[in-house]
Structure 1
């Protein structure tokens, strides 16, 4: 578990301890982390596991689940390639260099990458794509997401995935690809047709909320998802890891896990 001291890492460790399919092989944090040396179970608020938090990966493992940082993802991706092991990537905010690194890695190892491991969110992504195949450019699209005040990237990876779902669905209808605007301010003028508006809210301890609006001059359709607990994402990450173990090299996502696309 990379990012063991983070909010997601702690919940994944806790849920894995309750599931006989999983054994925690390592709890990983970067050098200098205050969590180094602590027992992973105690860190997660459960009984001791006998696995100390370290900054190096030693011993055998099947799948590495990564909820660290983009820099951490790049490092652990190299380790997984060297060891020939599978990797579940839950970090967001990747730059072009990391994207290229992942693209190269999947020729050697199985990698499952998803901005959101929730079952509900991945169902939402499919619904949004299907709606976008039917609701043409006369329907304005707005995507609104809300997260806790500690989130370091905006818009969220899930919001970007929802944007991609809209664009993919609209491509079926033909015409120019939708443009994207991030927030609005001042004298913006009339809203252009074929625009996707994206808005990021940051407040308190909000776990994660996403809503997509489709509105024309006569009606509005809105579909969304609210996460009430990080356990939603942690359970999805474990489900992804169990599914990925033993797969061949390649790039996968949660749609493959849930809908059998691979």
Structure 2
């Protein structure tokens, strides 16, 4: 039995993540990018067999199963609206979205399956779960999160550190944060739990940025066909769960 490839729309295709998504998707027959959407009018309408569209032309994109969005906040609303209109899934890593856009995500989750995450690394998804479990088991222990990134990263703490901190809070801990900017570090996150006479360290180190695009593509394949709802990356790791988390 032949399975049709998953049809993807890549929104924010001219950015570093968008270019990586296009490169990796081209390497598998399980995925087909049917539209690459960029902020400005594309210099070429078809590149390596992939149709390109300007963001102003988004409504004219061909049918797709899941949109992967790594764009800017001002481009987020149209792609979310298009996914709801087309009854398609959405995987988004766009940062800096407003509170009203977060509320729009919540509303859209009643109509379509979607996942928004600050980090699509599968290793970080596992770390998130481990942090929550450790915090719940180690009541009263101190929790510190230390994140390290390249010198050009401006936000601190990183979005991933804050997400890990939220996992710690769910487990009952009160995290503290420290940030380091040095060299060309792709991304390192240390979550440390300290008790009297002992210490536990949970660490994730990223050495290649492709892991984030691979995680987003994995999320798209796992999200397709699910019930409407807001999913975390960690919800998608073990196959279809009983239902979404929210």
Relative to the length of structure 2, the TM-score reads: 0.84
* In structure 1, C-alpha distance between the alignment counterparts of 2:153 and 2:111, rounded to whole Å: 32
1:209 maps to 2:218: no
Go from structure 1 to structure 2 and tell me whether the alpha carbon gap of 1:52 and 1:8 turns closer, same or farther (over 3 Å shift): same
1:125 maps to 2:128: yes
Pairwise CA distance, 1:25: 1.2
Radius of gyration: which is bigger? 1
Structure with higher RCO (Cα < 8 A, 6+ apart): 1
Aligned residues: 229
Higher strand share: 2
1:249 maps to 2:219: no
Go from structure 1 to structure 2 and tell me whether the alpha carbon gap of 1:27 and 1:38 turns closer, same or farther (over 3 Å shift): same
Relative to the length of structure 1, the TM-score reads: 0.79
* In structure 2, C-alpha distance between the alignment counterparts of 1:119 and 1:9, rounded to whole Å: 18
Cα contact 1:144–1:199 (8 A) shared by 2: yes
* In structure 2, C-alpha distance between the alignment counterparts of 1:224 and 1:151, rounded to whole Å: 20
Go from structure 1 to structure 2 and tell me whether the alpha carbon gap of 1:148 and 1:79 turns closer, same or farther (over 3 Å shift): farther
Greater CA drift, 146-155 or 213-222: 146-155
Cα contact 2:122–2:234 (8 A) shared by 1: no
Pairwise CA distance, 1:21: 1.0
Go from structure 1 to structure 2 and tell me whether the alpha carbon gap of 1:54 and 1:156 turns closer, same or farther (over 3 Å shift): same
Pairwise CA distance, 1:159: 1.1
1:96 aligns with: 99
* In structure 2, C-alpha distance between the alignment counterparts of 1:52 and 1:150, rounded to whole Å: 30
1:183 aligns with: none
